[in-house]
Amino acid sequence: MVSADDVARFLEQHPDFFEQHPQLLESLHVPHGGNGTVSLVERQLKVLRERQAAGRERLAELVRVARSNEALAERIHKLAMRLLHARSADDVRAQIEVSMREDFAVTHLRLVQDGAQRAELESLLSSGKPRCGHFSSAQRKALFGEPGESLGSMAIVPIGPGASQGALLLGSEDADRFNPAMSTDFLARIGEMTGAALGRAGLEPRV
């Protein structure tokens, strides 16, 4: 026995069925408004409108992401230009600080290599990739000192292979600014550029 689901699947697979068999439309009972019913045409229009609305939302999201990526690429480019013109250790540190604060709106940052933070950094950067997240109070304080207690999220960016040249620490009071789910590709690029700028002149970051 053919079920209603079988018929529905058949019509879905053959959307032009009624065009090929128009005589069947004469015997079909299709509600056409009135008494609270909705016509087939109205239902089709409703579905089409919903699909168009969903399509517009997806397009708007794609446009938003594209604009965000374009703005991020521009900030990365500005940082690269700053580092290309740096000629000393102080210049590199100053340009990174200016870029992070002015272009990336980062409220807390440190460029470190040695000292008490090194052991903490080695354990946190075992993967060799940037890390973002909500670190423990003890970890935040170990890396940022007293200001670390107020941070809602942090990013740790290795500089050089295996963080051989140190790490760039970024912090924010906003818990979502450096959330664990965010992409770290652009942070890795910042680490690579910083390492290249330091290595180009044989420079070393200091605590």
Residue 8 lies in a domain: no
Whether residue 9 is contained in a domain is answered as: no
Residue 44 lies inside a defined structural domain of this protein: no
Is residue 42 included in any domain, yes or no? no
Q: What are the residues facing 156 on neighbouring strands? A: 131, 169
* 75 has a pLDDT exceeding 50: yes
Domain of 93, in residue numbers: 55-200
Q: What is the mean pLDDT of residues 143-147?
A: 86
- CATH number, domain with residue 103: 3.30.450.40
Range picked from 24-28, 31-35, 87-91 for highest mean pLDDT? 87-91
Decide: helix, strand or coil at residue 109.
Answer: strand
What pLDDT does residue 201 have? 66
Is 35 part of a structural domain of the chain? no
Q: Quick count: other Cβ atoms within 10 Å of Cβ 5? A: 8
Say which range, 19-23, 55-59, 83-87, 169-173, has the weakest mean pLDDT: 19-23
36 found inside a domain: no
Q: 72 lies in a domain?
A: yes
CA 133 – CA 148 distance, rounded (Å): 13
What pLDDT is attached to residue 23? Answer: 62
Number of folded domains in the chain? 1
Give the tens place of pLDDT for each residue, 151-185: 999 999 998 877 778 889 999 999 999 998 888 88
Give the model's pLDDT for residue 151.
93
Report yes or no on 161 lying in a domain.
Answer: yes
Return the pLDDT at 111: 85
How far from chain centre, in Å, is Cα 130?
A: 14
Q: Does residue 100 register a pLDDT over 50?
A: yes
- Please choose, from the candidates 110, 94, 108, the residue with its C-alpha nearest in 3D space to the C-alpha of residue 177: 108
Other beta carbons within 10 angstroms of residue 129's beta carbon come to 14
pLDDT of 27 reads 57
